[in-house]
């Protein structure tokens, strides 16, 4: 790449093309998008603005080549920019915390819909997010259902520090606890429990280096050969925390959909067990209503 000189006049268009080629060669899945987003980050503008600037004599921002090189080493884009988009939010993220994924936006939507329904019926609603990571789901609920009382539970010290940055300004209560035993004095007090727990089976290492090398192991592996130990624990905690008629929704892998539905049906605490598809039509979440 020849884009490292700061403020090279008229080079932005060709620097973007060169960066996209370098990222493509490194196997980055959306190389042009990432090339534009890295430039947008350095210029402090939108990706759309970068695309417009590429047709002018705008200079290449200082440090661009270095960032592109880091991205080509498959450092997650969000660790380089320090931000992750989630629904309407831009969350602070970095090393030590799971980068929120687009499929989780659908899970957050189900929790938001349930919270809104409860609010309309009752005038109040209490929501808890188990294994909050960056705080993505809890922050989205707090932002989109401002009347909701939202609690977020997380065990990792590193993740907790990121969650604090995202949740404190939104008035979410953050609790440092194990989701298996969290909130022991609050049984039956919640209307909605939502979780994207770790669920990857021990032997299924993610293909993408961004996930395998940079997402915390504690955020990925669900425990047990099938990865279902923590999802089962999240369901048990949800059954304890929810009032009768309360709503539980949890993300999981496509291959776990049937086993989890069976688990909830056999647990004796749940009615109306339902599978939900993500935006690609894959069964990636299951919900149930507390008996
Ligand atoms: C897949 S990540 C999801 C993070 C966030 N909810 C999201 O959707 O982006 C799972 C999270 O659960 C946390 N976690 C793992 N084991 C836990 C436990 N026993 N108790 C509480 N949190 C736990 C991890 O640290 C991680 O932040």
Q: Is the CB of 267 under 6 A from ligand 1?
A: no
Tell me the C-alpha distance between 47 and 28, whole Å: 18
Q: What is the pLDDT of residues 246-280, one digit of tens each?
A: 999 999 999 999 999 999 999 999 999 999 999 89
Establish whether 48 is an annotated binding residue.
Answer: no
CATH of the domain at 175: 3.40.50.150
Report pTM.
0.94
Residue-number span of the structural domain to which 125 is assigned = 104-290
Q: DSSP of 168-229, one letter per residue?
A: GGGT-EEEE--TTT--TT-TT-EEEEEE----B-TT---SSHHHHHHS-HHHHB-SSTTS-H
Q: Is the CB of 154 under 6 A from ligand 1?
A: yes
Residue finishing a domain among 51, 73, 95: 73
Q: Is the CB of 104 under 6 A from ligand 1?
A: yes
Task: Examine the domain organization and report whether 144 and 284 are in the same domain.
Answer: yes
Q: Is the CB of 237 under 6 A from ligand 1?
A: no
Task: Examine the domain organization and report whether 199 and 260 are in the same domain.
Answer: yes
Tokens 């188990």 correspond to: 130
From the CA of 101, give the closest atom in ligand 1. 9
Assigned domain for 270 exists: yes
Assigned domain for 96 exists: no
Establish whether 196 is an annotated binding residue.
Answer: yes
Tell me the C-alpha distance between 206 and 199, whole Å: 12
Assigned domain for 7 exists: no
Task: Examine the domain organization and report whether 285 and 218 are in the same domain.
Answer: yes
Q: Is 135:89 a contact under the CB 8 Å cutoff?
A: no
DSSP category for residue 166: H
From the CA of 197, give the closest atom in ligand 1. 10
Q: Count of domains in the chain? A: 2
Task: Examine the domain organization and report whether 17 and 113 are in the same domain.
Answer: no
Assigned domain for 281 exists: yes
Edge to edge, the sheet with strand 270-277 lists 173-176, 149-154, 126-130, 190-195, 242-251, 283-290, 270-277
Q: Is the CB of 105 under 6 A from ligand 1?
A: no
Q: What is the pLDDT of residues 147-206, one digit of tens each?
A: 999 999 999 999 999 999 999 999 999 999 999 999 999 999 999 999 999 999 999 999
Task: Examine the domain organization and report whether 154 and 283 are in the same domain.
Answer: yes
Ligand 1 geometric centre to CA of 148 (Å): 21
């Amino acid at each position: 790449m020849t884009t490292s000189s700061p403020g090279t006049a008229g080079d932005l268009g060709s620097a973007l093309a060169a960066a996209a080629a370098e990222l493509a060669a490194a196997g980055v899945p959306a190389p042009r998008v990432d090339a534009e987003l890295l430039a947008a980050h350095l210029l402090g503008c939108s990706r759309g603005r970068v695309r417009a600037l590429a047709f002018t004599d705008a200079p290449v921002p200082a440090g661009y080549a270095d960032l592109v090189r880091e991205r080509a080493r498959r450092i997650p884009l969000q660790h380089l920019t320090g931000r992750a988009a989630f629904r309407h939010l831009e969350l602070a993220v970095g090393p030590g915390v799971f980068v929120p994924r687009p499929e989780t936006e659908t899970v957050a939507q189900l929790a938001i819909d349930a919270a809104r329904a409860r609010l309309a019926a009752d005038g109040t609603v209490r929501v808890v997010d188990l294994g909050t990571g960056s705080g993505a789901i809890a922050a989205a609920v707090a932002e989109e259902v401002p009347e909701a009382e939202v609690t977020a539970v997380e065990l990792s010290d590193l993740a907790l520090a990121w969650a604090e940055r995202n949740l404190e300004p939104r008035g979410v209560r953050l609790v440092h606890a194990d989701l298996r035993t969290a909130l022991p004095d609050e049984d039956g007090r919640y209307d909605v429990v939502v979780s994207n727990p770790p669920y990857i089976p021990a032997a299924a290492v993610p293909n993408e280096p961004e996930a395998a090398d940079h997402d915390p192991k504690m955020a990925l592996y669900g425990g047990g050969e099938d990865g279902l130990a923590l999802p089962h624990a999240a369901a048990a905690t949800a059954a304890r925390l929810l009032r009768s008629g309360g709503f539980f929704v949890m993300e999981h892998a496509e291959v776990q959909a049937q086993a989890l539905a069976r688990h909830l049906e056999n647990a004796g605490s749940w009615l109306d067990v339902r599978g939900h598809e993500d935006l690609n039509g894959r069964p990636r979440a299951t919900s149930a209503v507390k008996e």
